[in-house]
Amino acid sequence: MALYTIGDLHLSLTANKPMDIFGDRWANHTERLREGFSHLTNDDVTVLCGDTSWGMSLNEALADFQFIDALPGRKYILKGNHDYWWSTAAKMRRFFADNDIKTIDILHNNCFFYGEYAICGTRGWFFEEDFEGTHDEKVLNREVGRLDASLRLAQGRPILCFLHYPPIYHGYQCPEILQLLDRYGAEHCYFGHLHGVTHKRAFEGKRNQTQYHLIAADYVNFTPQIVCE
């Protein structure tokens, strides 16, 4: 039994959004994801860090969820900036139940426990999205509140934090998110969102007590990365 993570699956089994237009790195990425998950077992857990499906609705994303459901192990998913299908947690869980999807749950305003660890997270926020003034400030504050709620539910356990957006990036920081990670003493923070040439701008390493990791699918060769056993 082990805990893994990967982000940015960008599945499009129904939506017409082939990823190979973004370069050879994405060629046959659906099959490469299947192969990447093949060494996992049904006792394992994987956290998917956003941008899971290009579907514009839950129904349009159904084939992508069925693909994920058929992969080994349990999966916790959080929202990415391209997850337009995202709805309320209650509606998503009901949709999964109605469609016999049994291995997916939602990381959103909550946390899960894995052994001694607390699995916490939210989408986060990123400077490139900040172009609409007050509206963006409200969205940032909402994301900070969601992360705070998730971290509080850790109940003193060691924290593993999963985000879609990087909270720190060469030339950029999101102080509101970083302050929470510092306050709660998160041991590790995993994030996606960055692709291609932006990989080199990711901050990977230790800042204060938190170790930061980029786990976007094209960065980790479409293979879930082990977090702990």
Tens-digit pLDDT profile for residues 171-208: 889 999 999 999 999 999 999 999 988 899 999 999 99
Q: Which pLDDT value is given to residue 118?
A: 98
- Answer for the pair 143, 120: CB distance below 8 angstroms, yes or no: no
Which helix (H) or strand (E) is 221 found in, with range? none
Tens-digit pLDDT profile for residues 95-133: 999 999 999 999 999 999 999 999 999 999 876 655 444
Choose between 22 and 4: higher pLDDT. 4
Half-sphere exposure of 183 (CA within 13 A, CB side): 13
pLDDT tier, 159 (very low <50, low <70, confident <90, very high otherwise): very high
Residue 57 CB-density burial (10 A; 0-12 exposed, 13-18 middle, 19+ buried): middle
**Long-range pairs for 171-177: beta carbons < 8 A, 24 or more residues apart:** 171/201, 172/126, 172/127, 174/124, 174/125, 174/126, 174/127, 174/140, 176/125, 176/140, 176/141, 176/144, 177/124, 177/125, 177/143, 177/144, 177/147
Q: Report the CATH number of the 3-228 domain.
A: 3.60.21.10
Prediction pTM value: 0.94
Neighbours of 116 (CB within 10 A): 8
- Answer for the pair 43, 73: CB distance below 8 angstroms, yes or no: yes
Question: Does the pLDDT at position 21 exceed 90?
Answer: no
Between CA 11 and CA 52 the distance in angstroms is 6
Q: What are phi and psi of 193, to 5 degrees?
A: 75, -35
Half-sphere exposure of 163 (CA within 13 A, CB side): 29
Across residues 141-165, what is the average pLDDT? Answer: 97
Tens-digit pLDDT profile for residues 24-82: 788 999 999 999 999 999 999 999 999 999 999 999 999 999 999 999 999 999 999 99
